[in-house]
Structure 1
Amino acid sequence: MTLWRIRATVDDRPGYLSVLTASLALRGVNILTVQVHTTEQGAVDDFLVDAPDTLDETDLIAAVERGRGRDCWVARSEARGLVDQPTRVLGLATRLVRDPDATGEVLRALLGADEVSWRPEARSGIDGTTMQLADPGGGSHHLGRVAPSFTPAEYARAQALLELGATAAGRYAEQITLVLPDGAELTVRPAVAEDLAAVVELHRACSPSTRQRRYLGGAGTPSPARLRRLLEPTRGLTLVAVTTDPEAGRESVVAMANLLAEGDEAEVALLVRDDWQRRGLGSTLLRRLTRQAETSGYAAVVLHTQADNTPMLRTLRRLGRPATVEPDGGLLTLTVPLTAEVPAQRTG
């Protein structure tokens, strides 16, 4: 038996796919996988089949045409074609997240392209065996292959991968290695939803007093739903400080810093694991969030803290910026004005 890929268009009407598959079955062709791409011309069916060695390309095309298929394309396939398509796409996505520079290779593997190149013109769309994908960073990727023609489903899949790669590259660019005064090294980066389990563990590792100072209330751990909202706020930014545990051999989140925007102001809050406090980590995170708020055009950052939270007040003084203080019983609201101009907005 021999593996083949067959692509053909059939009318998008009830029963037409079964006629095509029956025609293949009559010739001993076993269909292993099938994908259906909806187009304006009809349903494009993409098969991976196992056919008797006695059948060649001409025989398979004839079988498709007898089954009411048209615009048939047939090519030999390899065993790797047996991999489930969603699994294959997820594998390529994982590779792209780990190595954003592999965009061209990932697109080539995803679409079986013979040509992949980047061009400065911002273009998008498909035209037969040519595809142009908008690069989120500017310009476009040009792909071409001898056959078969590209489908809208392939275009959408490739564009989604490009956007995923751009997001991963952006987060990689925002990641820094931080060296504290005592020589300890950490990675500081924007938080993602996948950090939820590690952030829950961070809260559990903090003392009740540390959690109480962060949330100005109970000393328990917030619900996963609330933590998920903090990790990826609608407006603002959350940073996590990550270190590698040499004993466990895994990463641990040891601090979380939130910048939550409301109107023209942004609230800042810090949670630093007890054994990482008083080492300069909180001051560094506060400075980074303040710079982020300033470049984003917010008028001020606001902190709410307990009047007896000496470490937080000391951290704020190290920021080196004037702040107004509004007492309310045992709580203080500290407002730090930001004077940077709002960045010019791009138009067009």
Structure 2
Amino acid sequence: MTLWRIRATVDDRPGYLSVLTASLALRGVNILTVQVQPTEQGAVDDFLVDAPDALDEAELIAAVERGRGRDCWVARSEARGLADQPTRVLGLANRLVRDPDATGEVLRTLLGADSVSWRPASVGVDRGIVGAGMLLADPAGGSFALRRAAPAFTPAEYARAQALAEVAATVARRAAEQVTLVLPDGAEVAVRPACADDLPGVQELHEECSARSRHRRYLGGAATPPPARLRRLLEPSRGLTLIATSTVPSPAGEPVVAMANLLGEGDEAEVALLVRDDWQRRGLGSALLRRLARHAERAGYGALVLHVQAENTPMLRALRRLDRPNVAERDGALLTLTVPLAVAAVAERKGTSLTPGA
């Protein structure tokens, strides 16, 4: 007996799957596993079967077509194919937890793709399935482009692949950004990605900042933003928010002393900082800005953008310490500063090749 994978589309109507399985049974084919994936064209049935050695690919296709199957694809399988799909996906997710930089190889294994490449973030790119290709959003920035000659990708496969890409991005973000910084004056702060549970601490940070500091951060006013807006800043849909907490305990725990936001928009990422007044001029803002710049580079953004009041000397000083070229545009009292980033090394970190374009 020989293991085969068979994929075919049947009308999504009662009894049609049983007609197909009966046709295979008449040729002595034993169905080991079956997955049904709904699509607009019908139900895509994915079988792992054990067939008599005498049956070849053409005879299996003929049996499927007699069972009202169409768009049939048949290929030899290996014993590892006996693992069911949930077990395989969990195993691949476990690999990403250990090594999030293996995202490209994990996606290739999951989908049996012929090629996987990583592309920098681009404006106006539609993610999804187009012909023999699939374009996935990398939550850290950019996209994964996959190609497979056959069989065609299905929406269920797209959903699984996107979920694994999100696992990798989350693990990478959490692991890479949990550090303790020692400032030039010897003070220590813990820096980590923000989460929704940080809302009370961030609200307290805003309350303890001066109106001037809040106005410099938000430009349009000095009031503390409403909770709904702060929640969006803590967990942006694209980008990263870091918070810094003092390692010196207080009755309320470890107070939040700074918040740094990296908000993705197309190929660029906007950066903004809020540092508690008594922690300003101690190198904390510069350290947070450097970490956001490195994250943006890894995520494939083409540039950082900062909107800064011309009189905001601390922020301009932190930007100078970043020691990267920038382009400044002035509109009255507001400066817009653009810092180009290099993305050439990003694809290697993600375990893929870099494909130009979108």
Which residue in the other structure is 2:168 paired with? 165
1:17-28 map, 5 Å: 17-28=17-28
Q: Tell me, what secondary structure is at the counterpart of 1:88? A: helix
Whether 1:92 aligns to 2:92 is: yes
Structure 2 residue identity aligned to 1:90: L
Whether the aligned pair in 2 keeps the contact of 1:29 and 1:50 (CA below 8 Å) is yes
User: C-alpha deviations, 1:293-337, integer Å up to 9, x for none?
Assistant: 899777979xxxxxxxxxxxxxxx9x699xxxxxxxxxxxxxxxx
Once the two structures are superposed, residues 40-80 of structure 1 have per-residue CA deviations (whole angstroms, 9 ceiling, x without a partner) of: 11110111111111111111101100100000000000011
Q: Which residue of 2 aligns with 1:147?
A: 150
User: 1 CA distance for matches of 2:33 and 2:60?
Assistant: 16
Contact 2:257 / 2:275 at 8 angstroms: preserved in 1? no
Instruction: Give the TM-score, by structure 1 length.
Output: 0.58
Structure 1 residue 172: Cα displacement: 1.8
- Give me the identity figure in percent: 68
Contact 1:36–1:44 (CA under 8 A) maintained in structure 2: yes
TM-score, normalised via structure 2 length: 0.56
- 1:57–1:296: structure 2 CA closer, same or farther, 3 Å change rule? same
Partner of 2:110: 110
Give 1:3 shift.
0.6
Following superposition, which runs of at least 4 residues in structure 1 exceed 6 angstroms of deviation?
Answer: 185-188, 293-301
Rg larger in structure:
1
Q: Which runs of 5+ in 2 are unaligned?
A: 183-187, 207-222, 228-245, 262-270, 282-312, 316-335, 337-358
Q: Structure 2 vs 1, CA of residues 299 and 265 (structure 1 numbering), >3 Å: closer, same or farther?
A: farther
Partner of 1:5: 5
CA distance in 2, matches of 1:84, 1:187: 42
3-state SS of the aligned residue for 1:38?
A: strand
* Alpha-carbon contact 1:266-1:293 (below 8 Å) kept: no
The 1-side partners of 2:314 and 2:170 are apart by 27
Of 124, 127, 130 in structure 2, the residue corresponding to residue 127 of structure 1 is 130
Pair 1:291-2:258 in alignment = yes
Change beyond 3 A, Cα 1:282–1:150: same
Q: How does 1:296-307 map to 2 (within 5 A)?
A: none
Shift of 1:260: 5.7
1:236 matches 2:199? yes
Root mean square deviation of aligned Cα: 4.0
Distance of aligned partners of 1:298 and 1:12 in 2 relative to their CA distance in 1, 3 Å threshold: same
Report matched runs for 1:137-216 at 5 Å.
137-177=140-180, 189=192
Q: Tell me which residue corresponds to 1:270.
A: none
Contact kept? 2:108, 2:116, Cα under 8 Å = yes
Deviation at 1:266, TM superposition (A): 11
**Cα 1:150–1:57, aligned 2, differ >3 Å: closer, same or farther?**
same
Counterpart amino acid of 2:22?
Answer: A
Q: CA deviation at 1:98?
A: 2.1
For 1:4 and 1:98, how far apart are their aligned partners in 2? 32
Which segments of 5 or more consecutive residues in structure 1 lack a partner in the other structure?
Answer: 180-184, 192-231, 238-257, 268-278, 302-316, 322-338
Q: Which residue of 1 aligns with 2:48?
A: 48
What is the CA–CA distance in structure 1 between the aligned matches of 2:30 and 2:276, rounded to whole Å?
67
Aligned partners of 1:32 and 1:48 also within 8 Å = yes
**Which AA in structure 1 matches 2:224?**
D
> 2:32 maps to what in 1?
32
Pairs within 5 Å for 1:187-336: 189=192, 233=196, 236=199, 259=202, 264=224, 281-282=248-249, 286=254, 289-292=256-259
| Structure 2 CA distance for partners of 1:84 and 1:260, relative to 1, 3 Å | farther
Q: Which has the higher contact order (CA 8 A, sep 6+)?
A: 2
